Amino acid sequence: MKIAVIGTGYVGLVTGTCFAESGHAVTCVDVDPRKVELLRGGGVPIYEPGLEELVHRNVREARLAFTTQAAEAVPGADVVFIAVGTPPGETGEADLSHVLGAARDVGRALTGPCVVVNKSTVPVGSAEKVRAALAEVTRHPFDVVSNPEFLKEGAAIDDFMRPDRVVVGVESERARALMAELYAPFVRAEQPVLFMDLRSAELTKYAANAMLATRISFMNEIATLCDRLGADVDAVRRGVGSDRRIGHPFLHPGAGYGGSCFPKDVRALLTTARQIGLDFDLLRAVERVNERQKRSLVEKALRHFGGSVSGRTFGLWGLAFKPRTDDMREAPALTIVEALVGGGARVRAHDPVAREVARRLLPPAVELVEEPYQAAEGADALLLVTEWNEFRQPDFARLRALMRGDLLLDGRNCWDAEKARAAGFVYQGIGRATGVARAGS
């Protein structure tokens, strides 16, 4: 098939590249000429494991192309994906201006029948707005499809190539048949393509992310209980997760969730509920818990240092909101750094891939270093914020020799508490009571 993808952000670039990898002719559109030029050379503007190699190969083999003009990509396309941003507005609602603008660009460029697929995360009812925007500018027949993405940053290629499900909202048999053919190479191992109506597909995306955010926040509340009751959250998590009705994924407590999906989608779903007169108390609590959780490591530091961090030096390991990405959107590290610097502390931080992104987001006073142990030199405390693999087994003796103080704050419960204490540290995790050994993973 001939495919056009409008937008080369995280979702659009992964989508276009993976379809090209499966043999389709794909042209991606972006308004930024510098980004397009980089992509034409096989480079990528974001960090995602395996993506640069796929982009380079498919550009070289002429299956994947990039342009700044929808008029060059859309004519003759069998299917056009809209994968542009939907940033949150001031009251939490998703801003559809980019989506509707892209739809009009697509409509003006159509030369015949086409299936237009909304891949962006959009509120319920957006497909109707996309249809209206297209109808304003074209007389060619078209179908509108909702096909939300479920990609995990750091594992997006594998998620696309081997999905656990593909959700597709359709209104016509023609669109259903085309989407079934398009995704056939990716669902041979019995993963289902779930066809449904447009509104249900749109809501499925928000419901899934809200559920995952709720699981994380619930476990963070349990971790707070463990801290105060002297229990070990690792043991509790294993006991709860062993229930087959619940399972282990997304039951790990930590310093809060961030990124481009969970915070934005929780707020957008809350806004949708409010607009129809529903007070979604559960999700409102999820959002409050997460904002509080982002301050948990700072609060532990304040208690340790007698209520003030002024004049103290803090080392941070990890800045991205999760490992295997350079994405710092709403990352817990931003809240932590803001609180520490605002309290008069000095911060020295390291992240394996997010340093350049961090330079644009963190205060100039924050020192970004190239090696993790540099962040610990002379520090009164070391905070683990993002659980990159290279941070999981530190040399505690080396850390103790480098640091001025003895406080380790493990925001992801990755470190061996007994080994840390044996090396002379005051160790504090999330929900791991002092003196309680880790219960295993």
Region class of 215: left (phi > 0), else alpha (psi between -120 and 50), else beta: alpha
Which H helix or E strand runs over 19?
Answer: helix 10-21
Distance of CA 324 to the CA centre of its chain: 11
313-317 β-sheet, strand order: 367-368, 346-350, 313-317, 381-384, 407-410, 426-428
What is the distance in angstroms between the CA of the first residue and the CA of the last residue of the chain? 45
Residue type present at position 45: P
- Integer Cα distance of 434 and 284 in angstroms: 31
Exposed (0-12), middle (13-18) or buried (19+): which is 371, by Cβ within 10 Å?
A: exposed
Taken in order 429, 431, 436, 441, is the CA torsion positive or negative?
negative
32 DSSP 8-state letter: -
The angle, 0 to 180 degrees and rounded to 10, between the axes of the packed helices 262-275 and 198-229 is 110
The tokens for 271 are: 């806004």
Residue type present at position 371: E
- Integer Cα distance of 20 and 189 in angstroms: 20
Buried residues in 301-340 as b, exposed as e (16+ CB within 10 A): bbebbeeebeebbbbbbbbbbbbbbbbbbbbbbbbbbbbb
The tokens for 298 are: 């700072």
Q: What's phi and psi for 100, nearest 5 deg?
A: -70, -35
Residue type present at position 79: V
Q: Where are the alpha helices (DSSP H) in 95-168?
A: 97-109, 126-137, 156-161
Q: Which of 163, 290, 269, 280 is nearest to 219 (CA)?
A: 290
Q: Given 18, 28, 226, 261, which residue is catalytic?
A: 261
Q: Is 414 a catalytic residue?
A: no
Active site residues: 261
